[in-house]
A and B are shown apart, each in its own frame.
Chain A
Amino acid sequence: MSIWLDEKARVVVQGITGREGRFHAIACKEYGTNIVAGVTPGKGGQEVEGIPVFDTVREATEKTGCNVSLIFVPPPFAADAIIEAADCGMELIVCITEGIPIRDMLYVKDFLQKSNSRLIGPNCPGIITPGKAKVGIMPGHIHKAGNIGIVSRSGTLTYEAVWQLTNLGLGQSTCVGIGGDPVNGTNFIDVLKAFEEDEETVAAVMIGEIGGSAEEEAAEWIKNNFSKPVVAYIAGITAPPGRRMGHAGAIIMGGKGTAEGKMQALRQAGVTVVESPAQIGEAVAEVLKKREVKP
């Protein structure tokens, strides 16, 4: 088991002929993901490493039966690409693109509410179910199949956590990067809900950062609904207010969205919050040990 992604996924890569799109389509394919099609408007009929390229997602869907999309389209056209994927019934849409205007994302969110598609991202590393499929830009080889679910707003910081777990022999069920933008398709609660229902996932790691209130909302939800242990790390305790720390969504505004506030909310919800990003792996090992001791 895993959440949202397994070996059955048939993936179309939107923006496959661009530098990033091509590179990562190949990397995903090498990992074992079933990349069945690519889409670049105007380049229909071409091939990328044996993957057929179509002009529209509609055509790719009809010809290849794709059901998952991975998007590398530049920011001005990314909202259109996401909505195209949703309109064609993609069950899962993973948007890697960084720099999509907020207003475009408001339109996307509105469209998605009327569809059955799940959007992960934008501005995210994607999703991986180790050993089964990878739909994203994360380095596949640092992962190991197992029982820890990971959800994070960050990219390399997630790799860091994954690597710590893998080195301790703790594999991952599914790792989801929900992205660093203020408006995104999937939030912490969506992922945690899926982890709660996933029998294979025995514990969750949640990596948050300053800005917004998604962590606080997740804490509230965890308190009442999540039965598995959670280890959390929140980045940005040293971040100055009013400054955007790389991610468009990582900003403390009007005294709201501080790391302290998020850590406190999570602790009150019974989450194990680590102060140091170097302790994520060990903390997971510890909570698992405690769980086993208990009947």
Chain B
Amino acid sequence: MKIHEYQAKEIFKRFSIPVPIGYVVDDLEKVKEVVVTLGVPVVVKAQIHAGGRGKGGGIKLAKIAAEAITAAKSLLGKKLVTPQTGPDGQPVNKLLIEKAVDIEKEYYLGILLDRSKSLPLVMASAAGGMDIEEVAAKDPSLIKHTHFDPFLGLWSYQSREIAKFLGIESKLLRKFEQLLRSLAKLYLELDASLVEINPLVLTKEGDFIALDAKINFDDNALFRHPEIIELRDYSQEDPLETEASRYNLNYIKLDGNIGCMVNGAGLAMATMDIIKLYGGEPANFLDVGGGATQDAVKNAFRILISDPSVKAVLINIFGGIARTDRIARGVVAAIEELGEVKIPVVVRLEGTNVEEGRRILREANFDFIVAENMSDAAEKVVKAVL
């Protein structure tokens, strides 16, 4: 789960990680008041669930109040397009307005899971404020990797070694150590999957401040953090995806026009891939769960076809434990119950009792296109949208 920068900064404060003084506004009327309180210069930052805000024009420095108001007007209530949002952009419903900071140096700090070692990992670089992936691609020696113990957190000496790598002066070691160890503590205690400060700045006064803040959480651990679930912002999600999640369906909207409904995540990805291989474009990823029950199929189908770009649907079900004839009856019942399905529906069923399953589809009131195998299904559904 993702949260906004201003929410991450609230959490930082709880862990004694310094952040700039700032206020969140969702109303243009309030901008002036906030700027007066803070004193210029200020930074106006669009709050969206995507990176690349700087490049997308979502972060603006204002030297006088009028500039801040102009910046706020150009962002609030609009959609911001960044290299990471996709062409439609994300809605900006809130702005974070912060007092600008006198920057001496910038650093990058990130904590994430190293999957191959099954350990949490600190990534640190003196190339702060830049895209860390670009840094990694250009010169990996600029990034220091430090694994730490998931029980005990980051040791003091590890943070000192990181500080030395970053070229931090001896007199600032303690300040840096406190900040970094708090960050590691936050990562573990809150079950984060990613914590990132880019940039962490050293001010001219010799203080470290997290100028930006990013926290992603492990969805599987949210059950023990009800206060974090509260931070979810549905306006940043695709409405169809939100609806699908209500029915425990895994649905991700894509750019194509062939809707797909599959049981199992791996097979669902494979189905998207084979559509592409046959020259089509998948409109979504959708896993209805291994069992593909009638209810799941019905809800999934309704969500699928409410996407106006979907011109045909491919249902690909491998009947494992659940028998194919029962799944076929579920699919037929779901579509009859929905009614008004006007686009071609290709169905590929495989598994036990497959002949019976196909017979049920052929004899249904709805004109299913029954496919013999996965290749045949992909070919037929791609032809159906031509």
B227 in contact (CB, < 8 A): no
Stretch at the interface among A80-88, A198-206, A207-215, A287-295: A207-215
Residue pair B120, A156 in contact (C-beta under 8 Å): no
Taking the nearest CB of chain A, how far is it from the CB of B46, in angstroms?
19
For window 131-153 of B, CB contacts with A under 8 Å fall at 132-133, 136-137, 150-151
Contacts of A76 in B (CB 8 A): 223-224
How many residues does chain A have at the interface if contact means C-beta atoms less than 8 Å apart? 62
Closest A residue by C-beta to B268? A246
A265 in contact (CB, < 8 A): no
Contacts of B287 in A (CB 8 A): 246
Residue pair A103, B221 in contact (C-beta under 8 Å): yes
- Report the bound CA distance from A185 to B62 in whole Å: 52
- Assuming the A-B contacts A103-B221, A212-B116, are A247 and B277 also in contact, with contact meaning beta carbons closer than 8 angstroms in the complex? no
Residue pair B191, A160 in contact (C-beta under 8 Å): no
Contacts of B262 in A (CB 8 A): 156
Residue pair B115, A214 in contact (C-beta under 8 Å): yes
Taking the nearest CB of chain A, how far is it from the CB of B274, in angstroms?
6
Contacts of B373 in A (CB 8 A): 278
Residue pair B321, A137 in contact (C-beta under 8 Å): yes
Contacts of A157 in B (CB 8 A): 264, 266-267, 269-270
Residue pair A103, B273 in contact (C-beta under 8 Å): no
Residue pair A238, B350 in contact (C-beta under 8 Å): no
How many residues does chain B have at the interface if contact means C-beta atoms less than 8 Å apart? 54
Residue pair B264, A155 in contact (C-beta under 8 Å): yes
Closest A residue by C-beta to B271? A277
Taking the nearest CB of chain A, how far is it from the CB of B301, in angstroms?
18
Closest B residue by C-beta to A101? B221
B220 in contact (CB, < 8 A): yes
Residue pair A248, B220 in contact (C-beta under 8 Å): yes
Contacts of A213 in B (CB 8 A): 115-116
- Report the bound CA distance from A275 to B220 in whole Å: 32
Contact with B along A247-268 (1 / 0, CB 8 A): 1111000110001000000000
Residue pair B272, A139 in contact (C-beta under 8 Å): no
Contacts of B269 in A (CB 8 A): 157, 209-210, 235-236, 238-239, 245-246, 250
B84 in contact (CB, < 8 A): yes
For window 252-286 of B, CB contacts with A under 8 Å fall at 252, 254, 262-277, 282, 285
Contact with B along A133-157 (1 / 0, CB 8 A): 0000111011000000000111111
A100 in contact (CB, < 8 A): yes
Taking the nearest CB of chain A, how far is it from the CB of B255, in angstroms?
9
Closest B residue by C-beta to A27? B321
The listed residue (A99, A109, A137) touching B220 by CB distance below 8 A is: A99
Contacts of B318 in A (CB 8 A): 156, 159-160, 163
For window 155-210 of B, CB contacts with A under 8 Å fall at 188, 191, 193
B239 in contact (CB, < 8 A): no
A240 in contact (CB, < 8 A): yes
Residue pair A278, B274 in contact (C-beta under 8 Å): yes
User: Which residue of B133, B219, B264 has the most chain A CB atoms within 10 A of its CB atom?
Assistant: B264
Closest A residue by C-beta to B133? A254
Contacts of B250 in A (CB 8 A): 245-246
Closest A residue by C-beta to B266? A154
B7 in contact (CB, < 8 A): no
- Report the bound CA distance from A255 to B272 in whole Å: 20
Residue pair B223, A183 in contact (C-beta under 8 Å): no
- Assuming the A-B contacts A75-B220, A139-B351, A275-B277, are A102 and B113 also in contact, with contact meaning beta carbons closer than 8 angstroms in the complex? yes
Residue pair A139, B136 in contact (C-beta under 8 Å): no
Q: List 21 A-B contacts (CB under 8 A).
A: A100-B220, A101-B218, A103-B150, A138-B320, A154-B264, A155-B264, A155-B265, A155-B266, A156-B266, A156-B267, A156-B320, A235-B266, A245-B268, A246-B264, A248-B219, A249-B115, A254-B132, A254-B133, A259-B273, A276-B274, A277-B274
B residues near A (Cβ < 8 Å) are 84, 113, 115-116, 118-120, 132-133, 136-137, 150-151, 188, 191, 193, 218-221, 223-224, 250, 252, 254, 262-277, 282, 285, 287, 290, 318, 320-321, 350-352, 373-375
Inter-chain pairs besides A106-B120, A160-B267, A255-B133, 20 sampled, C-beta below 8 Å: A99-B220, A101-B218, A102-B191, A139-B352, A142-B352, A156-B264, A158-B266, A159-B351, A160-B270, A160-B318, A209-B266, A235-B266, A235-B269, A238-B269, A238-B273, A243-B285, A245-B268, A246-B269, A249-B115, A276-B273
Nearest 7 A/B pairs, CB to CB: A154-B266, A246-B265, A156-B264, A157-B266, A101-B221, A139-B320, A277-B270
A residues near B (Cβ < 8 Å) are 27, 75-76, 99-107, 109-110, 137-139, 141-142, 152-160, 163, 180, 182-183, 207, 209-210, 212-214, 217, 233, 235-240, 242-250, 254-255, 259, 275-278
